[in-house]
Amino acid sequence: GVKRFEPREFERAVENLARFFTALREELARIAAQLGVSATTDLVGRTDLLAQARGLDRVDLRELLEPVTWTQPGRREVRVIAGVALEEAEEDERTLRAADRFVATDASGELARLRIAGASVANIASSYREGSVAGNGFAAYATDGVALTLRGGAQDGAAKTALGGTVAILKARNAAGRFLDGSVGKCFAYGAQRGRFLVQGGADARAAIRLSGAQVVFGGDLRGFAFEYMTGGTAVVLGDPGRWICSGMSGGVVYLRHDPARGLDDAALRDRFAKGAKVHMKPPRDEDLPALRELIDAYADALVATEQYEAAAYVRSLLEDAAANFRAIRPGADITDQTVSTE
């Protein structure tokens, strides 16, 4: 037989789990009673009752335990729009944290309502303090007239279903002068119809899925499932696009970085396609160059604005031989021709 074989005893395992969680519940109830709390659920969110008991010499958790002062996101921008209707909104040098969710979403809605009513209103131009990491939904539902620059990162759902605007999420400079992060969470620019969105770092899964007309540039690597069900727009990926891309893609174009030195040759890029992706890959055509140049220049300009001159020069140099440095991904006729499409 197999040495050291231990048979699975499911009934005993279930009993042990039940005994463990019962003891855990009883211990928590005793601690809650000592604090004068009648129900353990009343302790949810009470970070004011927590204190770091050990390990302070290795990591200081006090910042994580500070109570969060909640304010409705976007109120400042809405006041700017309502109060300074004919002037450009001033830069906003706040530090964003994970608790700051849906930043600029309220302002985008107010901007749209005022314009529909025929009012002459200000644009929103906000540049947040270096090192900021915005919570979920940063610039979600952004509209024309919104221009946001974030030097740090953003969590899930940034720029989702945007109907315009420009958003740049760039790396932040640390104490040693190195530029780090600039990444975004899941579903960046989900369903975005218009606007331009720049990400210097990486992006988590399902970036730019259902992209419907917006322009997107990713400077880093993607995690997977990007550009699912894309129906329009233009995207550029300067890093590794990740696995299982372009599933159900029926419109638009994606320009992937062709870089054999990094292992991103034609075979590797084709291996990134989802199994059922009905797309074809070719070097950029002459008619591709204006759109590709427009996005690369916009991305490089954003880098220059944050004093990343070498990175900007390198990105622009890729256009000197676009046919060697990029591959254009488009849906095939079997998905764009509605007489034969199976999607």
The CATH superfamily holding the domain 75-336 is Glutamate synthase, alpha subunit, C-terminal domain (2.160.20.60)
Encoded tokens for 103: 């930043």
- pLDDT tens per residue, range 10-59: 888 899 999 999 999 999 899 889 888 888 888 887 888 888 888 888 99
Q: What value does the mean pLDDT take over residues 59-80?
A: 66
The DSSP H or E segment spanning 31 is: helix 10-34
pTM comes to: 0.76
- pLDDT tens per residue, range 88-136: 444 556 788 888 888 888 888 888 888 888 887 778 888 888 889 999 9
Contacts of 159 by beta carbon, 8 Å cutoff, 6+ apart: 138, 139, 140, 142, 167, 188, 189, 192, 195, 197
Per-residue pLDDT at 341 exceeds 80 = no
CA geometry: angle at 25 spanning 21 and 29, to 5°? 170
- Matching residue, tokens 């770091």: 52
Q: How confident is the model at residue 247 (pLDDT cuts 50, 70, 90)?
A: very high
Beta carbons within 10 angstroms of residue 324's beta carbon? 13
The residues facing 127 across adjacent strands are 149
Beta pairing, strands 183-184 & 179-180:
unpaired
**Single-letter residue type at 288:** D
Query: In which residue ranges of the chain is CATH 2.160.20.60 found?
Result: 75-336
233-266 exposure pattern, b = at least 16 Cβ within 10 A, e = fewer = bbbbbbbbbbebbbbbbbbbbbbbbbbeeeebee
- Alpha-carbon distance of 258 to 312, in angstroms, equals 18
Percent of the chain clearing pLDDT 90 (strictly above) = 61
